[in-house]
């Protein structure tokens, strides 16, 4: 086992262990990876291992083309999706996939999550995008690899930047989130689940609830981001 990958194994392990604590996964569902940009590899959860049996050394090291570089176990079945995103989106160092209940419910409706409130606007200024289900040819092909392109195509079509919008719903499947670190990607998964739950309740209470108005979207986003942010310490 190479010492070289110690740091990303630790980060990936710690971040994976957050998922059950945050109530974002059941059983062995879900996976987090952490990348080392210099080595062009990432550490990812092994496939089908319960969270309580994980350890840093069980994290599998994979390159950005999806080849296993180091580790004794088979990597998560979603590994190729992570590899595609790392390869094409150069400023992300962590990716999370869960089937968290509310975000997955929205994915199953194939709808973007409308920006209804300031909790949403604190994190992104647009609806949470939902990538349409992939066509049959892609499904029959290299499915997990194509899921990466399904996500990137959605961002291209909607004119979104992966640095501004760190989350997506994969239609009929579930969410993926990412960030500059694995921890930030986990944080984004928890925020997404909360925003998805609030949006669901909003539509239950008022099916024609209006979207947040532009002035509030801008105000809330800029409080936390940008040159004049003043949220936090």
- For the bound state, the minimum distance from the C-beta of residue 154 to Zn ion, rounded and expressed in Å, comes to 16
The interface with Zn ion within residues 120-159 (CB under 5 A) comprises: none
d(CA 7, CA 183): 13
Residue 134 CB partners (closer than 8 Å, separation 6+): 146, 147, 150
Q: Which of 159, 231, 165, 167 is nearest to 194 (CA)?
A: 167
**Whether residue 187 lies in the annotated active site:** no
Residue nearest to Zn ion (CB): 174
Please identify, among the stretches 51-59, 118-126, 160-168, 173-181, the one whose residues bind Zn ion according to the rule CB under 5 A: 173-181
Closest CB to Zn ion among residues 92, 174: 174
The interface with Zn ion within residues 174-203 (CB under 5 A) comprises: 174
Closest CB to Zn ion among residues 25, 174: 174
DSSP conformational letter for 135: P
Closest CB to Zn ion among residues 172, 202: 172
Catalytic residue of the set 122, 127, 145, 200: 122
d(CA 209, CA 116): 8
Instruction: Give the tokens for residue 114.
Output: 């409308």
**Whether residue 145 lies in the annotated active site:** no
Contacting residues toward Zn ion, per CB under 5 A: 174
Q: Would you please indicate which residues are annotated as catalytic (active-site) residues? A: 122, 231
């Amino acid at each position: 086992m190479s010492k070289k990958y110690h740091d990303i194994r630790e980060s990936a392990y710690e971040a994976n262990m957050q998922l059950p604590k945050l109530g974002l996964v059941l059983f062995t569902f879900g996976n987090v990876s952490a990348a080392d940009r210099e080595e062009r590899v990432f550490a990812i959860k092994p496939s089908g291992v319960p969270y309580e049996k994980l350890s840093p050394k069980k994290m599998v090291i994979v390159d950005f083309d999806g080849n296993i570089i180091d580790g004794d176990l088979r990597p998560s079945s979603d590994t190729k999706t992570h590899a595609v995103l790392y390869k094409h989106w150069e400023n992300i160092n962590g990716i999370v996939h869960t089937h968290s209940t509310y975000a997955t419910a929205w994915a199953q409706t194939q709808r973007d999550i409308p920006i209804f409130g300031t909790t949403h606007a604190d994190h992104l200024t647009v609806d949470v995008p939902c990538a349409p289900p992939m066509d049959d040819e892609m499904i029959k092909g290299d499915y997990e690899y194509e899921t990466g392109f399904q996500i990137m195509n959605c961002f291209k079509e909607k004119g979104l930047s992966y640095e501004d919008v760190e989350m997506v719903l994969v239609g009929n499947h579930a969410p993926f989130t990412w960030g500059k670190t694995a921890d930030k990607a986990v944080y984004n998964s928890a925020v997404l689940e909360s925003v998805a739950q609030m949006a669901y309740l909003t539509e239950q209470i008022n099916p024609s609830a209006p979207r947040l108005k532009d002035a509030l979207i801008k105000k809330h986003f800029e409080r936390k981001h940008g040159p004049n942010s003043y949220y936090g310490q």
